[in-house]
Amino acid sequence: MDDLRDKYIQAIANASDEAALEELRVQAVGKKGEVSLKMRELGKMTPEERQVAGPALNALKNEINSALAAKKEALADAALDERLRTEWLDVTLPSRNTRQGSIHPISQVTEEVTAIFADMGFSVAEGPQIESDWYNFDALNIPGHHPARAEMDTFYTHRAAGDNRPPHVLRTHTSPVQIRSMQEHGAPIRIIAPGRVYRADYDQTHTPMFHQVEGLAIDTDISMANLKWVLEEFVKSFFEVDNVELRFRASHFPFTEPSAEVDIRCSWEGGTLKVGEGDDWLEILGSGMVHPKVLEAGNIDPSVYQGFAFGVGIDRIAMLKYGIPDLRAFFDSDLRWLRHYGFAALDVPTLHGGLSR
Q: How far is the CB of 209 from ligand PHE (least distance, A)?
A: 14
Nearest residue (CB) to ligand PHE, 102 versus 178: 178
Return residues touching ligand PHE (CB under 6 A). 173, 175, 253, 256, 286-288, 309-311
Q: How far is the CB of 151 from ligand PHE (least distance, A)?
A: 9
Tell me how far apart the alpha carbons of residues 312 and 306 are, in angstroms, rounded to a whole number: 20
C-beta of residue 214 within 8 angstroms of C-beta of residue 310: yes
Kindly tell me which of 286 and 349 has the beta carbon lying closer to ligand PHE. Answer: 286
Q: Whose Cβ is closer to ligand PHE: residue 117's or residue 310's?
A: 310
On the question of a cis peptide bond just before residue 188, with omega within 30 degrees of 0, the verdict is yes
Say how far apart CA 301 and CA 182 lie, in whole Å.
Answer: 11
Least distance (Å) between residue 93 CB and ligand PHE: 45
- Please report which residue ranges of 163-313 form alpha helices under DSSP H: 176-185, 224-239, 292-297
Q: How far is the CB of 296 from ligand PHE (least distance, A)?
A: 17
Query: Is the Cβ of residue 288 or residue 298 nearer to ligand PHE in the bound state?
Result: 288
**Beta strands of the chain (E only): which ranges?**
123-124, 130-131, 169-170, 189-198, 209-219, 246-253, 256-267, 274-275, 280-290, 306-313
Give the residue with the Cβ less far from ligand PHE, 103 or 309. 309
CB of residue 211 vs ligand PHE: minimum separation in angstroms? Answer: 11
Q: Strand 169-170 and strand 246-253: pairing?
A: unpaired
Phi-psi region of 153 (alpha: psi -120 to 50; beta: other; left: phi over 0): left
Report the chain's terminal Cα–Cα distance, integer Å: 79
The nearest distance, CB 304 to ligand PHE, in angstroms, is 21
- Using CB positions, name the residue nearest to ligand PHE: 311
- Pick 91 or 150: Cβ nearer ligand PHE: 150
